[in-house]
């Protein structure tokens, strides 16, 4: 199996998170042009929902489980984030990237908000044929609570483990995890409690930056480092030339 890069495009960078499904098409074209120019390396993309999914998930209280009344929220939330997925895939394809959208609602099953099954063998096949699968945070059926929201961050950790990826990056709207205005270069289980890491500041049902770090620390426990950096540093992350952001890893030896 070739080494696969797992890259998440944060919802905060591809949508205006204060709007209602306000897709930033210019930003998408810019990112797509960068990825197209790089060619070859096996790449799996994941994107967050931003303002296409978080408002619906909150409105229908999808995270609290299904009550009977909120069942239409499954469709509404999935439709919103699928719209964004189509825009991401469309920009990539326009730029010449062989991208295909993949919806976690179709292939994942959760229990208590955590994925318990998630097919990835076809994703491996795709990357081996030069296809870039594009997944996204989604509503997923849940055997304990009816449905739940699986964040793009949870998908990143799942994919990185299943695909044995050693390059895992999350592009966001901040230069990294900040403490008193400066980027924290490295986070591990040892120093995380000393940091002030908050939610998103915008509509977000998956815990914002704090939720992200909790997911990525689990990935670090599995021996896989990950990186959070500003979207303008995607090339530097891919080239491994210093993204200036935060690396989440195991405790320093």
Ligand X SMILES: Nc1ncnc2c1ncn2[C@@H]1O[C@H](COP(=O)(O)OP(=O)(O)OP(=O)(O)O)[C@@H](O)[C@H]1O
Q: How far is the CB of 39 from ligand X (least distance, A)?
A: 26
Kindly provide the b/e burial profile for residues 123-154, where b requires at least 16 CB atoms within 10 angstroms of the residue's own CB: bbebbeeebbbbbbbbbbebeebbbbbbbbbb
CA distance 160 to 135: 13
209 binds ligand X (CB under 6 A): yes
| Residues that contact ligand X, how many (by CB under 6 A) | 22
Establish if 11 lies at the interface with ligand IP8 (CB under 6 A): yes
Residue 174 engages ligand X in binding (rule: CB under 6 A): yes
Q: C-alpha distances in angstroms, 51 versus 11, 81, 137, 219?
A: 7, 9, 12, 26
Q: Does 139 bind ligand IP8 (CB under 6 A)?
A: yes
- Of 130 and 199, which has the nearer Cβ to ligand X? 199
Could you say whether residue 208 binds ligand X (CB under 6 A)?
yes
Q: Which of 89, 106, 216 is nearest to 161 (CA)?
A: 216
82 binds ligand X (CB under 6 A): no
The answer to whether the beta carbons of residues 57 and 140 sit under 8 Å apart is: no
Q: Applying CB under 6 A, which of residues 96, 130, 201, 242 lies at the interface with ligand X?
A: 201
CA distance 172 to 77: 22
Tell me: does residue 197 bind ligand X (CB under 6 A): yes
Which residues of the chain form contacts with ligand IP8 (CB under 6 A)?
11, 48-49, 53-54, 57, 77, 81, 137-139, 149, 151-153, 205-206
Question: Which chain residues interact with ligand X by CB under 6 A?
Answer: 10-13, 48-50, 152, 172-174, 177-178, 196-198, 200-201, 204, 206, 208-209
């Amino acid at each position: 199996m070739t080494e696969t890069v797992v890259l998440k495009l944060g919802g905060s960078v591809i949508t205006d998170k204060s709007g209602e499904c306000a897709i930033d098409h210019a930003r998408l074209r810019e990112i797509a042009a960068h990825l197209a120019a790089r060619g070859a390396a096996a790449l799996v993309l994941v994107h967050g929902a931003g303002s296409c999914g978080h408002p619906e998930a909150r409105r229908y209280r999808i995270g609290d489980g299904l009550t009977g009344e909120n069942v239409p929220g499954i469709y509404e939330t999935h439709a919103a984030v699928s719209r964004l997925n189509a825009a991401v895939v469309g920009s990539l394809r326009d730029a010449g990237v062989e991208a295909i959208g993949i919806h976690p609602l179709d292939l994942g099953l959760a229990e208590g908000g955590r994925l318990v099954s998630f097919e990835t063998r076809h994703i491996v096949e795709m990357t081996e044929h030069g296809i870039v699968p594009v997944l996204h945070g989604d509503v997923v059926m849940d055997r304990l609570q009816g449905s739940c929201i699986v964040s793009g961050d949870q998908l990143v950790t799942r994919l990185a483990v299943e695909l044995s990826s050693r390059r895992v990056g999350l592009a966001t709207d901040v230069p990294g995890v900040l403490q008193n205005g400066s980027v924290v270069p490295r986070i591990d289980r040892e120093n995380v409690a000393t940091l002030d890491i908050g939610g998103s500041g915008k509509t977000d049902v998956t815990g914002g930056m704090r939720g992200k770090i909790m997911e990525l620390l689990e990935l670090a426990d599995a021996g896989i480092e990950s990186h959070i950096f500003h979207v303008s540093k995607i090339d530097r992350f891919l080239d491994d030339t210093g993204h200036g952001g935060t690396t989440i890893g195991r405790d320093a030896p």
